[in-house]
Chain A
């Protein structure tokens, strides 16, 4: 499988890019909520990335990544026409989607891209999808147009107030929940503190809350347990039991700590990379 990059868009230059990849076998099976594992070089590390969009007809999948370490920096070096060495998927349990009414999909940072695919799934199932997206500023906001294309409501918040509500996505979410008691589900994808805050916000409303976890993974197929997370007091593997779980049950503190397991080595890798690449 060549896994050729058919299209690359630098969404936030130097930080975040979108790749449309020729991967017909994965595209044929991928559903909202699934992720892929990829490797960029033959000495590279396997990393998981949530699938942001799928075009089964064209045989393509879309991924969006934030450059925050060596592997994503290597990925950022690739251009249209280049191949991704290893690409494996679709992995994980797909999002549970049924026709249920109004669904609020909350996305923060790069998580907006992952949320996009789930929002689309809910839309296709006939749900009224409210997208709530946030970033530090307007320039850093992803997928606004893509979401506007099918979501009847797209609510925005920015830290600096350059677009939409000035403040946090959770404030927008809380307002929206207060104004409408028919919301069937809230989906939250983004940095761990944001997902924890989403769960905290929805709790008093008693609305079903789903979060998608970005644990460290090695194989992504249930073989190693790197991604284990405590959900409702039980140990789950995010790669095969998730990556989506009930936000009220996830031990976010543990998740945050476990994400730091290899922080020292990650910075060694990245620093060496930066040295050798100017």
Chain B
């Protein structure tokens, strides 16, 4: 089938989305996903290059060409098996990876036309497979390798890097225990990324798939508090992977930052995502109700917070960003979705101070206006204050989405861990090993906040090395 000369189909099949008018009234997923016909038609666009570039753009090396070939044969299960050889969380990646700068950014089709919608296809395969797996339970599960209970590895944290590490090791017969501090596994996938971008049911299904590989997931276990690295070695674990993320929210130190109504994006989103605050009072964790909302920051987290506030019924939501729209680090798709939904952009200004009433409640914000200067280290034009140009805006909820730092809980309990000047863990770039032998680390606690997929790449890299050491193989 793949032999015949491929016909060029320049345009990709569009992704069906909930309309902006509908979706700002619910927390349902915005992108609805391809149906079978759409997916098979999109798969036909893949040229099956002799020398595919797409894989090189993927941090976990998904055999993209091969899984799309399976789809061209309409073999969804086959496609899933191909993806699963390297990617433990395909339904997640299909949704939240920045494919435009990774696999799709390398796609040959993209040179002259639109790249193949690899992310959408990956999501389709994962979702279809999960929908099919009810059948699978009856007909028998795919065979698992025999897990050796004595060859065991601990992963601290249950975000994308740890889950990937666990998936890789367990599929090679190594017993893995994952220790999560919160009450639900998934890390940032659960507390950070909103339901409308990544439904929690998807994360649960991916975690369940790992449990079928006999991965133990233990919640309410705080690395560095309930359980320490040395405890794990004492219990016979042969290696420890630290994937605790970069969860310390940054504030800017502005006057009035502790007023009621000023939140870190982490708190605002954790209440709503982990705590299901959107369903308050059915769920007990209350969200903070803001009518006029200002979100400070221009990244994906800022977009998530802004779009969440809209869905909770805010009258106005503005993104306050110190550079211009072109410099925003958010994915283009997220920014476009936010604008479609009614989020306003207030670029070239930053907060000077928060203003409150006599009860300590936020009523407004004083902003410093900026203009663009020369490019800085990030290559983006730097924001420069315009002397004396200030503005005051009214807001009753301000969400700080200005980045995160390393959470010290795990690090303080493990003082032997070598850290860099920003406080992140230093690892051997090839193996992921830290300054402590057989202790590995990956994800945001090594790199600072980055993407889900780069964390997964780090989890996989460490897992390969751990598997080599424990199994005496090299693959």
Which positions in A face B, CB cutoff 8 Å? 1, 25-26, 29, 39, 41, 43-46, 70-71, 85-91, 218-219, 221-226, 228-230, 235, 240, 253-254, 257-258, 260-262, 265-266, 268-269, 272
B359 near A: Cβ within 8 Å?
Answer: yes
CB pair A254–B360 under 8 Å, yes or no, is: yes
Interchain CA distance A215-B227 in the complex, whole Å: 25
Which positions in B face A, CB cutoff 8 Å? 181-183, 191, 218-222, 225-227, 247-249, 251, 253, 257-258, 260, 263-264, 266-267, 270-271, 275-276, 280-286, 288, 359-360, 407-409
Q: Which residues of A contact B288 (CB under 8 A)?
A: 261-262
Q: Which residues of B contact A45 (CB under 8 A)?
A: 275, 283-286
Query: Which 3 residue pairs are nearest across A and B when measured between Cβ atoms?
Result: A257-B360, A265-B286, A224-B267
Q: Which residues of B contact A253 (CB under 8 A)?
A: 360
Interchain CA distance A224-B227 in the complex, whole Å: 21
Interchain CA distance A224-B274 in the complex, whole Å: 12
Interchain CA distance A105-B456 in the complex, whole Å: 49
Determine the main DSSP class of A at the interface with B.
mixed
Interchain CA distance A228-B258 in the complex, whole Å: 7
CB pair B249–A224 under 8 Å, yes or no, is: yes
Residue of B183, B276, B359, B407 touching A46 (CB-CB under 8 A): B183
Q: Which residues of A contact B280 (CB under 8 A)?
A: 265, 269
29 contacts between A and B (CB under 8 A): A25-B226, A26-B226, A43-B282, A43-B284, A45-B275, A45-B285, A45-B286, A46-B275, A85-B183, A86-B183, A86-B220, A87-B220, A89-B226, A90-B225, A218-B285, A221-B181, A222-B247, A222-B409, A223-B248, A225-B251, A225-B266, A226-B267, A235-B251, A235-B253, A254-B360, A260-B260, A266-B286, A269-B281, A269-B284
Given A43-B284, A257-B359, answer yes or no on A222-B226 (Cβ-Cβ < 8 Å). no
Interchain CA distance A240-B359 in the complex, whole Å: 26
Q: Which residues of B contact A228 (CB under 8 A)?
A: 251, 258
Interchain CA distance A182-B282 in the complex, whole Å: 54
CB pair A224–B220 under 8 Å, yes or no, is: no
Residue of A39, A89, A223, A269 touching B266 (CB-CB under 8 A): A223
CB pair A222–B282 under 8 Å, yes or no, is: no
Further 8 A-B residue pairs, CB within 8 A, beyond A222-B408, A235-B258, A265-B286: A26-B226, A41-B284, A43-B284, A88-B226, A219-B181, A228-B258, A235-B257, A261-B260
CB pair A240–B284 under 8 Å, yes or no, is: no
Q: Which residues of B contact A224 (CB under 8 A)?
A: 249, 264, 266-267, 270
Interchain CA distance A85-B184 in the complex, whole Å: 12
Q: Which residues of B contact A266 (CB under 8 A)?
A: 286
CB pair A39–B183 under 8 Å, yes or no, is: yes
Interchain CA distance A149-B258 in the complex, whole Å: 42
Q: Which residues of B contact A87 (CB under 8 A)?
A: 220
Q: Which residues of B contact A90 (CB under 8 A)?
A: 225-226
Minimum distance in angstroms from A245 CB to a CB of chain B: 14
Residue of B227, B276, B284 touching A70 (CB-CB under 8 A): B284
Q: Which residues of B contact A260 (CB under 8 A)?
A: 260, 359
Minimum distance in angstroms from B226 CB to a CB of chain A: 5
CB pair B359–A268 under 8 Å, yes or no, is: no
Interchain CA distance A260-B281 in the complex, whole Å: 18
